[in-house]
Amino acid sequence: MSLPKGHPKITQEKIGVLILNLGTPDDTDYLSMRRYLSEFLSDKRVIDYPKWFWQPLLQGIILTSRPFRSGAAYKSIWNNDKNESPLKTYTRALTDKIQKRFGKKEVIFEWGMRYGNPSTEAGIKSLTEQGCRKILFFSLYPQYSAPTMATAYDKAFDTLKAMNWQPSIRTSAPYHDDDMYIEVLAESITKHLKKTKSNPEVILASFHGVPKRYLMEGDPYHCMCIKTARLVREKLGWDEEKWHTCFQSRFGPEEWLQPYTDKTIEKLAHDGVKRMAIVSPAFALDCLETLEELAIEGRDEFLNNGGEEYTYIPCLNDTKPHIDFLEHRIRHELSGWI
């Protein structure tokens, strides 16, 4: 009897690692952006307002105009050669490089997005079809938060619910205070600052924000961000006057984690700071929030308010030190399996 397409064959068991990231639209046009934003902003982990209140507002007012603005922002950073977002390019490149470290005989790597394509479900199905009976879900978030790491795992578990033969599963932990991660991040900052014309007077560590209410309800994200920032500053040997920690990308009318990145940039420029640099330790890979919001919008805010030299420090991306760290971390998470 032939097995149906997609049925996992009973073969020599392999181990799979699914690299999970936030997501990306398929294109920058209105319909692609609307599909992506609808999925993203309908996630109860991201926007936890009651469905009866939020969905009419989202599907009506917000998704009428926001896809145009978001599409324009994506166009400014789009990888035109591959016709995809930089996040997709970097996630693929990173996964391919880690795969080479392990070889394909023992551990198989795939990658998937919480929102958009390639989907988390497609990644899980690919691994199981290749004979993986043990799978590590590894999310590319240094700090834990319900709207990032938790929802990535939620989506993966939704796929498992529909499977008659589930693989054994592990989920990776946040690595916000991993000694090797802190060292790699500090070295990356030092390397890029050596390329500047002169030393910046101030460094901003900008983390993606969440509503302050989430902190009050028990989400540890804020505490982990503050710890990451402190450990990096101490590793670099800088005093507190030179280092500022802030939060970006707020959305909606309620209060988010403060201080806000855009307001901080504006204030520093008004206070007479002429040279500043900015880094985003909440992002493993460069994406819209770093390449457009920080590298482009942040620069404009600083220069338009009196600043003179603005340096954006890229994320770790698929650099060798980052791959070295991720190999170390994934091997740690796979302890007992390999």
Q: Which CATH architecture fits 14-174+321-333?
A: 3-Layer(aba) Sandwich (3.40)
Longest CA–CA separation in the chain, Å: 77
Environment class of 226 (CB within 10 Å of its CB; exposed 0-12, middle 13-18, buried 19+): middle
C-alpha 232/C-alpha 243 separation (Å) is 10
- Fold of the domain spanning 179-312: Rossmann fold (3.40.50)
Give ranges for CATH 3.40.50.1400 in the chain. 14-174+321-333, 179-312
Q: 43: Cβ–Cβ under 8 A, 6 or more apart, which residues? A: 114, 115, 147, 151
Question: Quick one: tokens of 188?
Answer: 């990356």
Phi-psi region of 179 (alpha: psi -120 to 50; beta: other; left: phi over 0): alpha
What's residue 58's pLDDT? 95
CB 204 within 8 A of CB 246: yes
User: pLDDT tens, position by position, for the chain (338 residues)?
Assistant: 455 665 555 567 899 999 999 999 999 999 999 999 999 999 999 999 999 999 999 999 999 999 999 999 999 999 999 999 999 999 999 999 999 999 877 899 999 999 999 999 999 999 999 999 999 999 999 999 999 999 999 999 999 999 999 999 999 999 999 999 999 999 999 999 998 878 899 999 999 999 999 999 999 999 999 999 999 999 999 999 999 999 999 988 899 999 999 999 999 999 999 999 999 999 999 999 999 999 999 999 999 999 999 999 999 999 999 999 999 999 999 999 98
C-alpha 110/C-alpha 154 separation (Å) is 18
CB 31 within 8 A of CB 25: no
Alpha carbons within 13 A on the beta-carbon side of 225: 26
Question: Quick one: tokens of 285?
Answer: 């890979």
Question: Quick one: tokens of 44?
Answer: 């109860």
